Amino acid sequence: MSTLIVYMTRHGCAGKTAELLEGKIKDEVTIINLKKNSKADLSKFDAIIIGGSIHAGQIQKGIKKFCQKNLDMLLKKRLGLYLCCMEEGDTAQKQFDEAYPGELRNHAAAAGLFGGEFDFNKMNFFERAIVKRVANISENVSKLNEAAIHQFASKFS
């Protein structure tokens, strides 16, 4: 079985989790960053995992467009959905629900909230200022949930 992991990231967290997933999925895995390659041939894969991250309360527009454009094909595949965000609990779940269409959420064999990271080294001046003000954080923080990534991979496989 072949699995495609497609993701979009701004500061690297969704890409890092894609690589962590790759090591835990027993299939042949291909990873595509939609920011660099938006033309993935989904018909070549048995399963597809889609991942993104939250910025200013929203998932990347490219992920939303990918899901809308490929909705029919995605509903015919084994599907996994994940989200990287710094929120937890109900707020994180609400962000996940708003990030992906209901049809895909209902169809997904696995769904995951993988935590998030603030990497000030990858942020521009304005992003750092916003994070400092809104989140009251002034240094790099990682809240990646490797247990959630492992659980997702186990359920998906």
Does 131 have pLDDT greater than 70?
A: no
Q: Of the ranges 33-37, 65-69, 106-110, which one carries the lowest mean pLDDT score?
A: 33-37
Chain centroid to Cα 110, Å, comes to 12
Does 39 have pLDDT greater than 90?
A: no
Split into its structural domains, the chain has a count of: 1
Does 40 have pLDDT greater than 90?
A: no
Specify the 3-state DSSP secondary structure of 104.
Answer: helix
Which is more confident, 67 or 27? 67
Which is more confident, 12 or 65? 65
Residue 64: CA atoms inside 13 Å, Cβ hemisphere, count?
A: 10
Of the candidates 20, 35, 25, which has an alpha carbon nearest to the alpha carbon of residue 144? 20
Q: What does the pLDDT average to over 131-146?
A: 79
Chain centroid to Cα 140, Å, comes to 20
| Count of all residues that appear for the chain in the document | 157
- The range of the structural domain enclosing residue 52 comes to 2-156
Range with the largest mean pLDDT of 3-12, 122-131, 133-142: 3-12
Residue 80: CA atoms inside 13 Å, Cβ hemisphere, count?
A: 27
Q: What does the pLDDT average to over 66-81?
A: 96
CATH code of the domain covering residue 98? 3.40.50.360
Q: In the numeric block, which tokens belong to residue 11? A: 């500061």
